[in-house]
Structure 1
């Protein structure tokens, strides 16, 4: 065989062995979505994302074999200006923790299905530890100018985790989608399924938009899927979450410490714990700030809460063995809930500075170190569940000195018995806005 023939054969063999396919006639890249941020906007401009100039296709090994190396190879090949395609008819398996915080000017076009293995021993040891509330993630996606879309599915294979958590509440359950240190990007037109814990964690990120995300996942055993928040934002700003459907078992969206300039709009939430600020003030010595939040046009059904602000008291308390705290400081300021339709929701509105503390008298003796101010809640309608009937809301601060300028208006919400009572305490002027009683059951704790 001639040298030229040997070279041709070697190159062909290498191409067959490559985990990356250049674009071919069988693969059609998705067009990048263009979902406008509307009707509300955080007010700060989002950076432009230039067109990509190269396309790579990820090969699937099939038969449940780990595709992590193929995925990483395709991403590295197309990083800094490329478009990575996961074809529509392919199923991918990830059994290795992937650190993707190096991404730059890249589109990930997930048309097929990506499923994470249920090797709970591996993931407990190797998932990425995110510090806050012992959160871990299957992968870390970060960098600059990253777009993820394609209409495909990310599946957390959560059943093994739901069953394991029922036996041991101290296990570390990975979050399905971790946007960690992402500076500019969109995550759109995707399905998130069966996350072991929270579905999405947005940490140390700015200028990120989530649109048209479909979240669903419940347990098929007697062990429920717990703590499956739709989104949790943490140390992040200029974030939009919009136009999405969430069917889960915990907060639909939760603004964790140091979440600022965020818009959440046009969501359908079912089975959740509401759109929540917090919990905050959990850790002594840390300053938690949540401000400039706008929540609009939400449908909330079969939930524990509609609008919710939850703050730990000034002294240590324990919600459960794996969730305890209190004594931290900070502020919640300039938060608006504008427009919510509720159905079978336990409390339409809940504000508490006694999160985790079952004894309100004790909570008042140790008021929260975290202030709540300039809160607007308006334009709600619907019917609560019968859980707290005749109450429809719970408004209990730990002291009027740390809770002020709470404004509630145009609330057309009734209990099943037709009442619109709130349990009120330590909020100056609240009696002139809503129908208060000093009686009442403590609000949701999860």
Structure 2
């Protein structure tokens, strides 16, 4: 992605009553690689070096101040959150109106530590009960932290609340909704109540150099569902060069995620890099297509590469959110994938949350899975399933086509010959030691 660099200079804030001087650093020049999207990202428009808005560090609620600064510096300016400063987002903050603007986060952003308040005020979405503290959207927007900026979700409060109430809404600490063109880079994110990031209804976005982790202070209420990234109804997205230490999917491709590259990630403690889950909602048509996952290190996870599909439901079932959805997964490649102490190096299931193998076989998934490539996998699994190291289970052979595995060098900790569960698969396309499931 090409960028116009901003020279360093002193500015006076436009978003506060009191003058504040700040030396604006250059916008980082970001590159995509080694894999690059088939549709190049658009080039950001030039920014006006005199149009800089510093968000007032004295306000109790930084949400309205941030909106005001973005309105002032929209169309060519830069909004700044100062270093060594804590900003509290204490009300839902809608930043989906942005146009040719940069957001520089050098301070720490926290979110009002009030579970009850956010239950009725956070932005809510029907799909999997997504809720947001704030959201970014518009066109040509660069959000960056230069490795300094921090988003702190104060997650322990929310994880503890979930322990006593499973239905509590736990918001996500970073979200795009309708962002077309731009980047997110150089941010630190810790202790998200739920997923760390969701990229929704967006396209042509580069995400790079992000550091994600959880800090547990109450071991009886550990983190839950803290996915690194979830993509939803988005296309032409690159996520790269980042570290993720979390408690759920490192990356998850939710419905209608297409043309996405994931590369150069170090993931620890997660549920893998996952397609899905898909087919959860009857009457919905889910698509995941043209996904490339490259050069991943995955440690201490339940899975390395993962595809999870809900099974079918009995005829005349209505109102189901536990399977039966249609659609397809097509042209997904996992290449150069290092495993260390993962329960499964690869897991493909079309029986996700099925009551039993028998129930899954009785009502097989209708969502198609085809043209899937696993290649150049190496490393070791955990002892959980030793000597089995992976599981590829299709509910019916008619809905799984052209699923291939090649150059797979995965070893169980015992050193025994690695075994793979292969159910309803074309074993001639799998260069692995298949055994009965």
TM over 0.5: yes
Q: 1:349 aligns with which of 346, 351, 363?
A: 346
Deviation at 1:30, TM superposition (A): 2.9
Deviation at 1:80, TM superposition (A): 1.3
* Bigger radius of gyration among the two: 1
Say if 1:169 and 1:403 are closer, same or farther in 2 by CA, change over 3 A: same
Contact 1:29–1:109 (Cα < 8 Å) also in 2: no
The answer for the alignment partner of 2:86 in structure 1 is 91
1:137 paired with 2:137, answer: no
Contact 1:406–1:430 (Cα < 8 Å) also in 2: no
Alignment of 1:411-422 (within 5 A): 411-418=408-415, 419-422=417-420
1:20 paired with 2:16, answer: yes
Q: 1:39 aligns with which of 27, 34, 43?
A: 34
1:249 paired with 2:247, answer: yes
Deviation at 1:220, TM superposition (A): 1.2
Q: 2:285 aligns with which of 284, 287, 290?
A: 287
Matches of 1:19 and 1:31, distance apart in 2: 21
Contact 1:396–1:426 (Cα < 8 Å) also in 2: yes
Alignment of 1:3-402 (within 5 A): 19-20=15-16, 26-53=21-48, 54-61=51-58, 65-150=60-145, 151-221=148-218, 222-315=220-313, 325-402=322-399
Q: CA RMSD in A?
A: 1.7
Matches of 2:261 and 2:241, distance apart in 1: 11
Deviation at 1:433, TM superposition (A): 2.2
The answer for the alignment partner of 2:405 in structure 1 is 408
Matches of 2:92 and 2:159, distance apart in 1: 20
Q: Which range moves more in the overlay, 182-191 or 49-58?
A: 49-58
SS of aligned partner of 2:162: helix
- The total of aligned residue pairs comes to 415
Say if 1:21 and 1:378 are closer, same or farther in 2 by CA, change over 3 A: farther
Deviation at 1:159, TM superposition (A): 1.0
TM-score between the two structures when normalised by the length of structure 2 = 0.92
Deviation at 1:23, TM superposition (A): 8.3
Q: 2:422 aligns with which of 411, 415, 424?
A: 424
Deviation at 1:315, TM superposition (A): 1.5
Deviation at 1:95, TM superposition (A): 0.7
The answer for the alignment partner of 1:442 in structure 2 is none
TM-score between the two structures when normalised by the length of structure 1 = 0.90
Residues 276-323 of structure 1 show CA distances to partners (whole Å, capped at 9, x for unaligned) of 00000010111000000000000000100000000000117xxxxxx9
Matches of 1:52 and 1:291, distance apart in 2: 35
Matches of 1:357 and 1:231, distance apart in 2: 25
Deviation at 1:22, TM superposition (A): 9.4
Structure 1 unmatched ranges of 5 or more: 1-14, 317-322, 440-446
Matches of 2:140 and 2:17, distance apart in 1: 23
Matches of 1:124 and 1:378, distance apart in 2: 44
Matches of 1:425 and 1:265, distance apart in 2: 29
Contact 1:21–1:56 (Cα < 8 Å) also in 2: no
SS of aligned partner of 2:209: strand
Deviation at 1:163, TM superposition (A): 0.1
Residues 106-145 of structure 1 show CA distances to partners (whole Å, capped at 9, x for unaligned) of 1000011111111111111111112210111111110111
Structure 2 unmatched ranges of 5 or more: 1-11, 315-319
Deviation at 1:35, TM superposition (A): 2.0
Deviation at 1:88, TM superposition (A): 1.0
Q: Which range moves more in the overlay, 420-429 or 158-167?
A: 420-429
Contact 1:22–1:56 (Cα < 8 Å) also in 2: no
Matches of 1:293 and 1:113, distance apart in 2: 33
Say if 1:74 and 1:354 are closer, same or farther in 2 by CA, change over 3 A: same
Deviation at 1:76, TM superposition (A): 1.1
